[in-house]
Amino acid sequence: GRVLGGKQVVLEEVADRELLGGFVAEVGSLLVDGSLDGQLARLRDRLEHG
């Protein structure tokens, strides 16, 4: 891992061929979805439910 600001960071990269673009990151119990799939799903939800 790398040391940033006194904390050790361990990075594990996994390529998902079904992901159209962007990234999904898991930080502890927090899931950060910056994928194109996630953005389209959120847009679809807003259009359907206002």
Q: Is residue 49 part of a domain?
A: yes
Quick one: pLDDT at residue 5? 73
Q: Is residue 22 part of a domain?
A: yes
Range of the domain at 39: 17-50
Task: Say how many domains are in the chain.
Answer: 1
Q: Is residue 50 part of a domain?
A: yes
Q: Is residue 45 part of a domain?
A: yes
- Structure confidence by residue, pLDDT tens digits, 1-50: 566 677 777 888 999 998 889 999 988 888 999 999 999 999 999 999 98
Q: Is residue 23 part of a domain?
A: yes
Q: Is residue 11 part of a domain?
A: no
Q: Is residue 10 part of a domain?
A: no
pTM of the model: 0.62
> What separation in angstroms does the CA of 8 have from each of 4, 14, 15, 28, 30?
6, 20, 23, 13, 17
Quick one: pLDDT at residue 4? 62
